[in-house]
Structure 1
Amino acid sequence: MKRTISTSDAPAAVGAYSQATINGDLIVTAGQLPLTPDGELLDDAPVAEQTKQCLENVEAILVSEDGSLDDVLKTTVFLNDIDDFEEFNEVYSEFFGEEPPARSAVEVGNVPKGAAIEIEAIAMTD
């Protein structure tokens, strides 16, 4: 049975969606922007800092359900500019280590709210 996830350790949803949903052991996060839990948008920050905040948000959502980034099976990364890939990838690698999840990374027309990046994840907890 599906239920929604909401934690104050990640930014609140800014529209008609949930931070994440869970069904059994499967967690699907919404796309996480570089928003702090207090709602500050880091849209003027370098891509590395924006990436870090997005992944910290994903991690906070997973931790709220006793999960971790080690449980992530797949991420989808939306970049405003594919030329930011190397800077993004350097930070991303620090979060996922030697056994990273499957990933898609694509350039999009515009990430919401003028951000440079948005990251969503699918995870399976025990």
Structure 2
Amino acid sequence: MERIEAISTDSAPKPAGHYSQATAWNDMVFVSGQLGVKPDGTHTADEPFETQVRQALANVLAVVDSAGSGPDRILRVTAYVVGVENWGNFNTIFAEVFGNARPARTVVPVTDLHHGYEIEIDAIAIRGR
């Protein structure tokens, strides 16, 4: 029986609770929800939406990279966005960061997130480069 592997990197913030940055089973990688927290634990919740999105995406990509994958191997992304009016801004930044990679994606408008953040992103990827 294959075992579940915990994925961890110093290039993304440490978990603030009882969870892993990601888990992997065989070639599947499941990235936990990432806020716009910097790897050193500094919060960006008081910074502009764009800054929060870019940091959250950087965190997702850092965890995916540490698992032996990359943006073109991300199968699915779920983004929780405070305020439906931020959807377009999120989409523009997402397209810039992902380029030609077009994972399946769900954007969920929500009323609020932990620590006052405006974005949280999780992902599912497969290993390989």
Figure out how many residues of one structure are paired with residues of the other and give that number: 126
Q: Partners of 2:104 and 2:45 in 1: how far apart?
A: 26
Q: Partners of 2:112 and 2:18 in 1: how far apart?
A: 19
Q: What's 2:58 paired with?
A: 56
Deviation at 1:37, TM superposition (A): 0.2
Deviation at 1:51, TM superposition (A): 0.7
Structure 1 gaps, min length 5: none
Report Cα offsets for 1:38-63 as digits up to 9, x if no partner: 00110011111111101100111111
Deviation at 1:75, TM superposition (A): 0.3
| Structure 2 residue identity aligned to 1:38 | D
Q: Partners of 1:39 and 1:98 in 2: how far apart?
A: 31
Report runs of 4+ in structure 1 exceeding 6 Å deviation. Answer: none
Matched, 1:25 2:23: no
Q: Which moved more, 1:27-36 or 1:101-110?
A: 101-110
| Structure 1 residue identity aligned to 2:71 | L
Q: Partners of 1:88 and 1:46 in 2: how far apart?
A: 12
Q: Which moved more, 1:95-104 or 1:23-32?
A: 95-104
Q: What's 2:47 paired with?
A: 45
2:116 corresponds to which of 90, 101, 114:
114
Q: Partners of 1:113 and 1:18 in 2: how far apart?
A: 19
Q: CA RMSD in A?
A: 1.0
Report Cα offsets for 1:32-89 as digits up to 9, x if no partner: 0000000011001111111110110011111112211111000000011111111111
Identity of aligned residues (%): 37
Matched, 1:3 2:1: no
Deviation at 1:109, TM superposition (A): 2.6
Q: Partners of 1:33 and 1:46 in 2: how far apart?
A: 13
TM normalised by structure 2 equals 0.93
Q: What's 2:68 paired with?
A: 66
TM normalised by structure 1 equals 0.96
Structure 2 gaps, min length 5: none
